[in-house]
Each structure stands twice: as structure tokens, then as C-alpha cells.
Amino acid sequence: MSEVAGPRSLQYETPAHQADAAMVGMWLFLATELLFFGGLFLTFLVCRHQHPLGFALAGRNTELVIGAVNTVLLVTSSASYGAGLLLIERGSRRGLVLALAVTAALGASFLILKGFEWRDDFRRHLFPGAGFGLSGEDAGGAQLFFAFYFIATGLHGVHMLVGLGLLGWLALRARGGAFDRGWTTPVAVVGLYWSFVDMVWLILFPLIYLLGRAG
């Protein structure tokens, strides 16, 4: 059990020990992210309770088609990433790089569509503030909805950008031969992050696009 520690020894006993710590660390980080978005969800809950009509009005002014397409894109990107992880676990370096490219393309498409959506929202003066596009007595509540909308999708978008950066970094390392059957931990760790960003969207999507149209 006791071992003499040479000057270059790690605090980990085996690579598996270190891999396990990395995975556990990422899960814990995602827990913090859940609480981060959770504060946003509380804001939505409370504001919606106080302005039900305004939120419904605003919800009907979101672009459902883009939202739904984006959801499909993200879900597919999670699947492609999962496939990539399976491929590298079976030794296919090319498979991983391909899967990462597909995932990144899907993620980038998501952001591009989001960009178009935001552009349309700005054109219709849906950004809260002076000159808000919707009027009537529910306009105040609608503004609050759009405040939540822009903050939530903005933060989500930032997380996507970071994710794209991580995907690019992984792809570069994979092409350089850093991963094989025996060492896939960074891929698994980034996969957790990417899937989590997907999960956040899976909750944001109904909150933003569907609740105002339901019932």
C-alpha cells in the first residue's frame, strides 16, 4: 500500500483513478451549472405567476419553427457525440473526428439559426426597453418574458460557444492521436458538458416556445 513517492509522482495511483476523478469533477461542475440556470428558472416561475397574460402573449410571439428545428439539431448533436464516444472506445480515431465534426456543425447550425431568430426579434422590436413592439396592458409582462428570453438564450448560447471551442480542441487532439481505446476520458468529460447544454435547452424550449401556446 505504501509506496515511495519519486519527485515526479502524481497524487493519483493509476490512470483509472485520475479518469474517475475527472468524470466526477465534471458531474459536480454540471451540478453547479444546474443551480446557475435554476436561478433563471425561479425568475421565470415567479414572473409568470405575476404576469400570466403577458407571458402568454409573449409566448405566442416566439418563433416556434426555429425553436423546434433547433431542438432537433441539438438532440441530434448529442446523439452524434454519443456515437463519437462509442467509436473511440472501440478504437476508431477517424470515427471520433468525424463525429466531432458533425456535432460541431450541428451546434454551429443551432447558433446560426438562433442568430437569425434574434435578428427577427430585434426587427419586430421584441427586445425589452423603449419602443417595445407589443402593446396593450399585457405588454409589461411580455417585456419581462422577453427579458428572460434574451438572457436565457444568450447564456445558453455562450455555453454553446464554449462547447464548440471544446469540440474543436478535442478534434485537434484526436487527429493528433491523443485518444485510443485505453484513454477516452477527455472525450467523455466534454461529452457530459455538451449533453448538459442540450438538457438546458430541452427545458428552455417548452418554457419559451410552448407554455404560452398551450392550454
Partner 1 sequence: MIRALRGVAIAWLILVLLLAEELVATFVVPGRLGPCIVLGSGMVMVAVVGFAFMRLRGSASLAQAFVVAALFWLLVLLGLGSMDPLTRTDYPVAVTRFP
Partner 2 sequence: MSVTFEEPTLRAQVHPVRNYLTEDGSLASWLLTTDHKRIALLYLGSITLFFFLGGAAAALMRLQLITPGGYIVAPETYNRLFTMHGIIMVWFFLVPSVPVTMGNFVVPLMLGARDLAFPRLNLFSWYLFVAGGLVTLYALFVGGLDTGWTFYTPLSTNYVQGALVAAAVGIFISGFSSIATGLNFIVTIHRLRPPGMTFYRMPLFLWSIYATSVIYVLGTPVLAITLVLLTFEHVFHVGVFDPSLGGDPLLFQHLFWFYSHPAVYIMILPGMGVISEIVSTFSQKGIFGYKFIAWSSISIAVIGFFVWGHHMFVAGTSIYSSIVFSLLSYLVAVPSAIKVFNWIGTLHKGFIRFDAPMLYALGFIGLFTVGGLTGLFTAALAVDVHVTQTYFVVAHFHYIMVGGMVSAYFAGLHYWWPKITGRMYPEMYARVAAVLIFLGFNITFFPQFILGYLGMPRRYATYAPEFQVLNVLSSAGASILAIAYAMPLFYLGWSLVYGRRALANPWGATGLEWQAASPPIKENFVVTPVITGPPYDYPRPELVGRHV
d(CA 54, CA 141) in angstroms, rounded, equals 4
Q: Report which residue type is found at 132.
A: F
Q: Which of residues 124-153 bind partner 2 (CB under 8 A)?
A: 127-129, 140-141, 143-144, 147-148, 151
Q: Which of residues 21-60 bind partner 1 (CB under 8 A)?
A: 23-24, 27-28, 30-31, 34-35, 38-39, 41-42, 45-46, 49-50
Nearer to partner 2, 42 or 65 (CB): 42
In the stretch 70-89, what mask flags binding to partner 1 with x, by CB under 8 A? -xx--xx-xx-xxx--xx--
How many chain residues touch partner 2 (CB under 8 A)? Answer: 44
Instruction: Give whole-number Cα distances, 54 to 117, 120, 215, in Å.
Output: 21, 20, 15
At closest approach, how far in Å is the CB of 146 from partner 2?
Answer: 8
Q: Is 10 in the site for partner 1 (CB under 8 A)?
A: no
Q: Which does 161 bind (CB under 5 to 8 A by kind): partner 2, partner 1, none?
A: none
Q: Is 92 in the site for partner 1 (CB under 8 A)?
A: yes
Q: Which does 65 bind (CB under 5 to 8 A by kind): partner 1, partner 2, none?
A: none
Q: Is 2 in the site for partner 2 (CB under 8 A)?
A: yes
Q: Is 17 in the site for partner 2 (CB under 8 A)?
A: yes
Residues pairing with 183 in the sheet: 180
20-38 burial, b at 16+ Cβ within 10 Å, e below that, comes to eebeeebeeebeeeeeebe
Q: Is 4 in the site for partner 2 (CB under 8 A)?
A: yes
Three-state DSSP string of 134-145: CCCCCHHHHHHH
With beta carbons less than 8 A apart as the criterion, state whether 88 and 174 touch. Answer: yes
Burial of 64 (0-12, 13-18, 19+ CB in 10 A): middle
Q: 178 — phi, psi (to 5°)? A: -75, -25
With beta carbons less than 8 A apart as the criterion, state whether 153 and 110 touch. Answer: no
Q: Give contact residues for partner 1 (rule: CB under 8 A).
A: 20, 23-24, 27-28, 30-31, 34-35, 38-39, 41-42, 45-46, 49-50, 68, 71-72, 75-76, 78-79, 81-83, 86-87, 90, 92, 128-130, 132, 140, 191-192, 195-196, 198-199, 202-203, 205-207, 210-211, 213-215
